[in-house]
Amino acid sequence: MRSNSKVAVVILAAGQGTRMKSALPKVLHRIGGRSLIEHVLATAYELDPAHVVAVVRHERERVAAAITEFAPQTLLADQDEIPGTGRAVEQALAAIPADFDGSVVVLSGDVPLIDSVTLGQLLTDHSDNARDMTILSAIFADPTGLGRILRGADGAVTGIVEEKDATDEQRRVTEINGGIYVFKRSAVTEALAQIDTNNAQGEKYLTDAAAVILAGGGIVGATLTTDPWVIAGVNDRAQLADAGRELNARVCRRLQREGVAIVDPATTYIDVTATLAPDSTVLPGSFVLGNSTVAAGAIVGPATTIANTAVGEGATVLRSEVNGAVIAAGATVGPFAYLRPGSELGENSKVGAFVELKNTQLGAGSKVPHLSYVGDAQVGSGSNLGAGTIVANYDGVKKHRTVIGDEVRVGSKSVLVAPVEIGAGAYTAAGAVVRKDVPAGALALSVAPQRNTPNWVQQNRPGTTSADAASAANGEKN
């Protein structure tokens, strides 16, 4: 979208949100990989406005820090002791340079599904009709509890009325105020100067601006949206879950239309920050979180979680948990593998069942197929770590690194005690405990010769089924 120097955006984020019943400020609760306020900020910046101002008050430092981290160019305005949305907008306008005379879009920090397409239509309608105020409205079959848009016989907007102040006839109106507005700056500034807090709630209402503007001969209109979700606010945890479910459904549907195979969107969760290529596949029960990327031909799932992970072309991640990893083309992970941050899998490598990797780089074609823990290691290409291998990286005080060369064969149940280096082409015998470097091409053994003690079971476990079986095998009589 081209730069729009005639637009400023105000985001209201000062409320306490008591119905969330949470120590976390309402606008910092998360759906789809972002907090509510981050979703609204992202939409605001898609308009490429001249200014964005967020109004804060409750838990001011936490909310302001989150806003600044996500969008550092955002201006902050503090709501003072005077309550109400009108006062919040008044404080925001004071933060916008005085020479700005364009349109002011007012959004709420707890309405996460508002999108830039809807706002673009709202701005166009506002501008084309040379209005002083334009309200985003919707038709609700059951508008109980919501403010109504009042229109005259000619269809022109004549005001906004809250349900508690409405007559019986006005309550039958089904067009509701969506709480999202566009104002001409001069009009809203003048209107707010005339609004007081002389009402039952003792608040300065932004909705009162409509009546003031109309009384002064200004033009007020409403743009009707057919998508009620874009104005849906989040006031409690049930509504948070509803909004999250709807957002996820929209993300999945968009990706499907872009060529991603999502087999069951109802059980698939994909953050808005994730990127999936056409011809990638996500199977049921899977989560693609954070800044994850999934390349063409890759398969994630079923029952898999990847977070902040890159999955290469044709790679497969099956029934596994992966966080902060890089999985190259053709690699396979799982089932029941756990890849922790810093893990990097080379092309066509394999991490199999019940394997945990932590900060480990696995070379092309290398395999850790079964029942192993590999921490803080560098593994070359074409190597194989046998079942039950443990790379012991922690000595109780510090963590140390292990280096395993190309084409190494680590025997089953080996323990590599870091720091240690296994040279290219070397082998370790089954059950080896490797505490010293192994030269290239060498075989490392650490087991004592096997010794058998005859008749040990009969002598030490007499009367057991094992002793009876041993006696029978030896041809002994009871």
In a domain, 463, yes or no: no
Q: Are residues 266 and 216 in the same domain?
A: no
In a domain, 184, yes or no: yes
In a domain, 238, yes or no: no
Provide the pLDDT for residue 201: 78
Helix (H) / strand (E) element for 61: namely helix 60-70
Query: Has 370 been annotated as catalytic?
Result: yes
Q: Are residues 408 and 359 in the same domain?
A: yes
**Residue 377, phi-psi category: left (phi > 0), alpha (psi -120 to 50), beta (remainder):** beta
In a domain, 305, yes or no: yes
Pick from 477, 408, 464, 418: nearest CA to 440: 408
Q: Are residues 61 and 19 in the same domain?
A: yes
- pLDDT (tens place) for every residue of the chain, 478 residues total: 344 679 999 999 999 899 999 999 999 999 999 999 999 999 999 999 999 999 999 999 999 999 999 999 999 999 999 999 999 999 999 999 999 999 999 999 999 999 999 999 999 999 999 999 999 999 999 999 899 999 999 999 999 998 888 999 999 999 999 999 999 999 999 999 999 988 777 889 999 999 999 999 999 999 999 999 999 999 999 999 999 999 999 999 999 999 999 999 999 999 999 999 999 999 999 999 999 999 999 999 999 999 999 999 999 999 999 999 999 999 999 999 999 999 999 999 999 999 999 999 999 999 999 999 999 999 999 999 999 999 999 998 999 999 999 999 999 999 999 999 999 999 999 999 999 999 999 999 997 788 899 999 999 999 999 999 999 999 876 5
Q: Are residues 220 and 260 in the same domain?
A: no
Query: End of a domain among 172, 200, 231?
Result: 231
Q: Are residues 198 and 269 in the same domain?
A: no
Query: End of a domain among 200, 231, 262?
Result: 231
Pick from 163, 213, 214, 165: nearest CA to 188: 213
Q: Are residues 188 and 227 in the same domain?
A: yes
SS3 265: helix
pTM of the predicted model as reported, rounded to 2 decimal places: 0.91
Residue ranges making up the domain that contains 342: 250-444
Q: Are residues 178 and 312 in the same domain?
A: no
Q: Give the CATH number of the domain where residue 93 resides.
A: 3.90.550.10
In a domain, 475, yes or no: no
In a domain, 160, yes or no: yes
Q: Are residues 289 and 143 in the same domain?
A: no
Q: Are residues 408 and 298 in the same domain?
A: yes
Provide the pLDDT for residue 228: 94
Provide the pLDDT for residue 2: 43
Catalytic residue among 29, 58, 370, 400: 370
In a domain, 52, yes or no: yes
**Phi and psi for 224 in degrees, rounded to 5?**
-85, 125
Q: Are residues 345 and 404 in the same domain?
A: yes
In a domain, 29, yes or no: yes
Q: Give the CATH number of the domain where residue 401 resides.
A: 2.160.10.10
Q: For the chain, how many structural domains are there in total?
A: 2
Q: Which residue has the tokens 């898999």?
A: 304
Q: Are residues 148 and 267 in the same domain?
A: no
Provide the pLDDT for residue 478: 54
Between CA 478 and CA 472 the distance in angstroms is: 9
Residues contacting 146, CB < 8 A, separation 6+? 140, 163, 176, 177
For residues 306-331, one letter each, b for 16 or more C-beta atoms within 10 angstroms of the residue's C-beta and e for the rest, the string is bbbbbbbbbbbbbbbbbbbbbbbbbb
